Amino acid sequence: MAGRAGPRRDTRGIVDAPELFARVRFRRREPDPALRPYLEHYWLIDWDLERPYASHVVPHPSVNVVFQRYGNGPDGTDSAEVAGIGLELFTQKLEGRGRVCGVQFRPGGFRPFAPGWPVSEWTGRRVPIGEVMPTTDADIATVLGPPEVPAEVRSEVPAEVRSEVRSERLEEIGTAAEDARVAALDAYLLSIGPRPDPRATLAMDLVERIRTDRTTRRVARLAEAEGLSVRSLQRLFAAYVGVGPKWVILRYRIHEALERAESAPGGEADWARLAAELGYSDQAHFVRDFTATVGVPPTAYGRTGA
C-alpha cells in the first residue's frame, strides 16, 4: 500500500465549490511521507467575511480531525474534534473571521491512530478530540498558529497599495505560516501513531478499488473477489471504515454525479444517461439517492447549482 502522489485536486463533495472558493481561502496540503498511506491530505481554510455564509458538503466516507478557530484575538475560541463519517449533507455557517486546519483520513486509515474503538463508533458524530486521541490545549494552539493575523497579510489590505515587492512579501509570510501549521499537524499525528494494522490496509485498498473502478457496483462481487463472505466484508467496513460497503459505493456515485452536473454545459446534465453510466438500473433510483443525499432532486440542483 502506498499513499497517493499528492492531494486530490477535484472538488467532489463540495456543493457549489466556486461559490465557496470565492469567499474563503481553501488549500490542500500533503502530510509527512510516513503519514501518507493513512491520510488523504490536510485541508486548510481561512475566512474574513462581512456577511455570514453557509457552506455545504456531501461528506466523503472519511473520518476527519478538525482543529478550528472562530473569531480572533482575545475573543477567539480554539477547539478540536473528531468528525466521524457524515451520513447527511453537512452545512457549516461561517461568519466573521476564522480558521480551520483539517485532517482527512483515507477511508480505513483512521483506526491505526485510535485502535481502541471500531470506526463505526464515530459515524454520524462529532466529538471533542480528547475523547478519542490524546490532545492538549497546547497541541490545538500550535496547530492553529498565532491568534492574531499580522495586519500586512490580512485580506482587507487594498490591492492597489500592494506593490510587486509587497505582494511577494505577503505570499512569503503566508506560506511560512501555513508551513508551520502543516508541520504541527505532522508532529502531532506522528506522536500518536499510526500502529500498523493489516486489516486497516485491506480496508483502505478495498475502498480505493470502489472509488477508482466504476464497475465495482455490487457488494457480493467485491466480497467474492477478495475471498470473503459478504458478512465478513461488512464487519471489516464497520470496524475500519465506519459504514458498509454498499454505502461507500452509493456515496462515490453521488460525488461523481455532483461533479458531472457542475461541469455540464449550461448546468444541464443528461440525468438519464448519467444514471446509467453510474450503474443505476433506472433513473428513478438515482433520483431517490441523489435527493436523499443532497437535499434537492438532480434537476433542481442543475438549475440552481445547489
What 8-state DSSP symbol labels residue 48? E
pLDDT of 4 reads 54
What 8-state DSSP symbol labels residue 74? G
Could you tell me which residue, 71 or 109, shows the higher pLDDT?
A: 109
Tens-digit pLDDT profile for residues 144-187: 998 654 444 444 444 544 444 344 444 444 678 899 999 999 99
Q: Examine the pLDDT at 228 and tell me if it is beyond 80.
A: yes
Rounded-to-10 torsion of CA 134, 138, 144, 145? -150
Q: Which of 82, 77, 151 lies closest to 122, judged by CA?
A: 82
Could you tell me which residue, 228 or 174, shows the higher pLDDT?
A: 228
Q: What's the average model confidence in pLDDT over 9-37?
A: 88
Strands 126-128 and 39-57: unpaired
Longest CA–CA span in the chain (Å) reads 66
Tens-digit pLDDT profile for residues 192-211: 989 889 999 999 999 999 98
Tens-digit pLDDT profile for residues 233-259: 999 999 999 999 999 998 888 888 887
Q: What's the average model confidence in pLDDT over 86-106?
A: 92
Q: What's the average model confidence in pLDDT over 105-110?
A: 96
Q: Range(s) for CATH 1.10.10.60 in the chain?
A: 198-304
Tens-digit pLDDT profile for residues 47-68: 999 999 999 888 899 999 999 9
User: Which pLDDT band, with edges at 50, 70 and 90, does 294 fall under?
Assistant: confident
| Domain 198-304 superfamily per CATH | Homeodomain-like (1.10.10.60)
- CA 84/CA 147 separation, integer angstroms: 27
C-alpha cell at 161: 497599495
Q: Examine the pLDDT at 141 and tell me if it is beyond 80.
A: yes
User: Which pLDDT band, with edges at 50, 70 and 90, does 262 fall under?
Assistant: confident
User: Which pLDDT band, with edges at 50, 70 and 90, does 29 fall under?
Assistant: very high
List of residues 6+ apart from 50 with CB closer than 8 A: none
pTM for the whole thing?
0.83
Average pLDDT, the chain: 84
Reduce the DSSP state of residue 254 to 3 states and report it. Answer: helix
Q: Which of 102, 101, 90, 99 lies closest to 48, judged by CA?
A: 99
In single-letter form, the type of residue at position 110 comes to F
Out of 8-17, 35-44, 248-257, the most confident range is 35-44
Reduce the DSSP state of residue 168 to 3 states and report it. Answer: helix
